């Protein structure tokens, strides 16, 4: 089994529900187990500013699926949750699932780049990742804890959930 970190993001159609539903779908993946999911974080949009704030989280799964099969599965979850691939790469989306890390493997092909390009600069990835994996070291040798220290929060907020009893 390989440890895989997946970034989740949504800014449409009740983003908190989208992230929760995506976590449930990750938990149901074949030959895999959902190990942890971070808190939800509210973040300012990166890219076009005339779109709603995002809700982001990071999940850790263990999987026996290959990177290619896992990518197909996460794309299926995205499309089941109404993701429409638009021309605008930097616009709103109901659900984005990004394979951040696949064990310590380096992958770079036409479908997939792992570690995810840009993740080391994105507060909405680094902080939730740090919450669930504070000792993580990237394949390049960088420590997540060092990156977090120098990454501006850019207004990132950990969301608290109301539990109704
Ligand atoms: N901005 C934030 N804050 N969170 C995201 O998940 C996110 N995803 C994207 C773009 C449009 C780049 N901006 C984002 O794909």
| 54-99 confidence digits (pLDDT tens) | 999 999 999 999 999 999 999 999 999 887 666 566 777 899 999 9
| pLDDT of the residue at 82 | 80
| Separation of alpha carbons 84 and 93, rounded Å | 8
| pLDDT of the residue at 162 | 66
Of 45, 36, 33, 47, the closest CA to residue 9 belongs to: 45
How would residue 165 be classed by pLDDT, with cut points 50, 70 and 90?
Answer: confident
| pLDDT of the residue at 85 | 63
| Protein residue whose Cα sits closest to atom 6 of ligand 1 | 9
| pLDDT of the residue at 91 | 72
Q: Residue 82 C-alpha to ligand 1 middle, in angstroms?
A: 17
Say if ligand 1 is within 6 A of residue 51 CB. Answer: no
Give me the mean pLDDT over the 25-31 stretch: 98
Catalytic positions, written as ranges: 83, 93, 96, 98
How would residue 164 be classed by pLDDT, with cut points 50, 70 and 90?
Answer: confident
Our count of domains for the chain comes to 1
| Separation of alpha carbons 43 and 158, rounded Å | 9
The answer to whether residues 35 and 62 touch, using CB atoms and an 8 Å cutoff, is yes
As a whole number, the mean pLDDT across the chain is 94
pTM over 0.85: yes
Atom of ligand 1 nearest to the CA of 56: 6
Say if ligand 1 is within 6 A of residue 56 CB. Answer: yes
| 110-160 confidence digits (pLDDT tens) | 999 999 999 999 999 999 999 999 999 999 999 999 999 999 999 999 998
Per-residue DSSP letters for 63-130? E-S-HHHHHHHHHHHHHHTT----S-TTS--S-EEEEEEETT--EESSS-EESPTTGGG-HHHHHHHH
| pLDDT of the residue at 41 | 98
In terms of residue numbers, what domain contains 51? 2-161
| pLDDT of the residue at 122 | 98
The CATH code of the domain that includes 55 is 3.30.70.560
| pLDDT of the residue at 90 | 72
Share of the chain above pLDDT 90, in %: 85
């Amino acid at each position: 089994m390989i440890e895989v970190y997946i970034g989740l993001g949504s800014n449409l159609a009740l983003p908190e529900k989208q992230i929760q539903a995506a976590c449930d779908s990750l938990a149901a993946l074949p030959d895999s187990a959902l190990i942890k999911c971070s808190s939800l974080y509210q973040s300012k949009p990166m890219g076009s500013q005339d779109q709603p704030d995002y809700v982001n989280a990071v999940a850790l799964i263990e999987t026996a699926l290959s990177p290619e099969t896992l990518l197909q599965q996460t794309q299926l979850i995205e499309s089941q949750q109404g993701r429409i691939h638009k021309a605008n790469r930097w616009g709103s989306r109901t659900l984005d699932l990004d394979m951040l890390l696949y064990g310590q493997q380096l992958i770079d092909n036409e479908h997939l780049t792992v570690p995810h390009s840009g993740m080391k600069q994105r507060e909405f990835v680094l902080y939730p990742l740090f919450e669930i994996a504070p000792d993580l070291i990237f394949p390049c040798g960088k420590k997540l804890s060092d990156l977090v220290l120098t990454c501006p929060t850019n207004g990132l907020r950990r969301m608290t959930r109301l539990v109704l009893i």
